[in-house]
Structure 1
């Protein structure tokens, strides 16, 4: 993986994971926002980027928040998303101090999403790439996103789309409308993990997993 190709090295990924942990600890323990000194950071993590921060606890999801389009530098995005994952995921109560020791986190660095052109539902299923593509559904004012690693738990493309619809409160029947009314975008991601991290479902990931 080469930074000049838009990919990050393991060392750069470790910096982002460290920033996420420091931000999580500062906010939960002291209600303060961790701001890494930009002068001490390599250019690879100071460029604009979009990220997701995922928190798990004993192999179960504990929070996941991120951005789809880059509008701030990577380290700032990671720092803010770590706080959001711990405090603003509507599916969970905010993380408490006593939980910090049992929580592990991962950072996903996203490529810019690209609109997927499809003709009908069957064509859409055929165009999705399991374990490679993250997917964003947009319908009216609603949007739903699943990261590429979710394919490890939901391997079937039809079920993957069904989960996206449920998450975003998008009627599944809209996926079958011709011409399509649901905008589908795909993206790839690099994933970097804190030591001891378990995916939701309890599976241990590799140290990092780039999008294919």
Structure 2
């Protein structure tokens, strides 16, 4: 099951890793998504972002672009820039969401493909580059969202996510900061915090699904 809010996220402040800006953000997204692809967690297929007008705030537009070339291809920078809303010539692009499919393993270790299994966001903001990895499904924790234990699913998937996060830390040279806790979970270390169990069951979170 997929939650409407993340059950865990990890944030990197990348001021010392790369300069701000669209081109730098796309190069960073390419490097990070290559790590996630290596672990079968994200095969990029779409790039999404909102537009903002300096000093005015958001423009009424969100753009979704099918990825037809590598994220660090110089032509992709030009494509993104050309998609600026016609009525807002001063608009600048906001956070870049790299969306695509990933593979998770069920209780029998059979692979299953899921859209937006892992989400990668890179911010090109002028005050400093940053990035975030978020997960939304119950496969990363020891209980599903109904509270039922699923140790095989957890064992088949959580180590893959942890390995990818550690590799991202090594790539970026910056420790990951756990994101804010939500109703659906909390990031701790390289995984999702195990909730308190009652009679062998976790909390039932389906009222918010």
TM-score with structure 1 setting the length: 0.30
Higher RCO (Cα < 8 Å, 6 or more apart):
2
Larger strand fraction of residues = 2
Larger helix fraction of residues = 1
Mark the structure with the bigger radius of gyration.
2
